Amino acid sequence: MWNESLRLECFIKCKGVLRGGAEVAVKRISQENDGVREFLAEISSLGRLKQRNLVALRGWCKKDMGNFLLVYEYMDNGSLDKRVFCDESMMLNCEERIRNIKGVAFAVLYLHEGWEEQVLHRDIKASNVLLDKDMNGKLGDFGLARMHSHGQVASTRKLVGTVGCMAPEVIKTGQALTRTDVFMFGILILEVMCGRRPMEEGKPPLVEFVWGLMVKGELMNALDERLSAKGDFNLQQVEKVPKGWEALC
């Protein structure tokens, strides 16, 4: 792992270029608020995790007093939400959306079962899934992640996460579990396939919206209407996705 001797030849907003020309993404974290704790969480978790559907941490350095920089692999196409909640000319088609959902599922399985310790991400959502040059999604942003031994229960009781994505029991108790990560993954499925954010002004919450359609036997009507209008989906593929929606509801 690099230390403060690492130097960036170019630092522009959140993109950097290392000696040799390799492009990287750079995240600045301040000591203000819980910045140091967030920094240490990312270093201790993401720095040791190796899975193709997780954003790779390349290194870190201390830029100046009170500021740290995390250096990641560069993801060319930004975050998943920018390719779902966008103009039709830029949005992902149905096949690409399903492929990214599968990728995040593999990442979550690895975090929960595939590593030496169990990792709770605690903030799974479309804006924390980044897309590479081939539009393949990778789960990132481990600032809220917590690790513990398999078979143990996480001791944290602090309420963290994103409103509209958290499981009801987390809101009541503050305790994160693997199943609360899975709940967030379910919300991610709804975001990506419905083309709606978990909470939107003037509209019912996304889970409530999908639940209402499921009760009426009209779950397929939850599909992003822009995809439906274009006929831009494989019916057999899409019919498999509601099983995940039903499990969530």
How many angstroms separate the CA atoms of 9 and 18, rounded?
A: 6
Tell me the CB-side half-sphere exposure of residue 203, using CA atoms within 13 A. Answer: 13
Quick one: pLDDT at residue 152? 75
Quick one: pLDDT at residue 69? 80
Quick one: pLDDT at residue 16? 83
Spans of all domains in the chain: 10-73, 80-248
Q: Select from 3.40.50.2300, 3.90.1300.10, 3.10.20.340, 3.30.200.20 the CATH code of 10-73.
A: 3.30.200.20
> What confidence tens digit (pLDDT) does each residue in 3-42 have?
333 343 333 347 888 888 888 988 877 666 566 766 676 6
In this structure, are residues 168 and 161 in contact, taking their beta carbons and an 8 Å threshold? no
How many angstroms separate the CA atoms of 197 and 64, rounded?
A: 37
Quick one: pLDDT at residue 6? 39
Alpha-carbon distances of 116 from 59, 76, 120, 148, 237, rounded to whole Å: 21, 30, 13, 9, 34
- Which residues, 6+ apart, have CB-to-CB distance to 76 below 8 Å? 131, 132, 133
The mean pLDDT value of the chain amounts to 82
Please write down the HEC assignment for all residues of 155-204: CCCCCCCCCCCCCHHHHHHCCCCHHHHHHHHHHHHHHHHHCCCCCCCCCC
The one catalytic residue in 81, 123, 132, 134 is 123
Amino acid at 9: E
How many angstroms separate the CA atoms of 137 and 51, rounded?
A: 12
Tokens of 36: 């140091």
Print pLDDT tens along the chain (249 aa): 443 333 433 333 478 888 888 889 888 776 665 667 666 766 777 678 899 999 998 888 776 666 778 888 999 999 999 999 999 999 999 999 999 999 999 999 999 999 988 999 999 999 999 999 999 999 998 888 888 888 777 666 677 778 888 888 888 888 888 999 999 999 999 999 999 999 999 999 999 998 898 889 888 888 899 998 887 676 666 766 655 555 544
In the annotation, is 81 catalytic? no
Q: Which CATH class is domain 80-248?
A: mainly alpha
Quick one: pLDDT at residue 1? 40
With b for 16 or more beta-carbon neighbours within 10 A and e for fewer, the 140-156 pattern comes to bbbbbbbbeeeeeebee
Quick one: pLDDT at residue 185? 95
Quick one: pLDDT at residue 205? 92
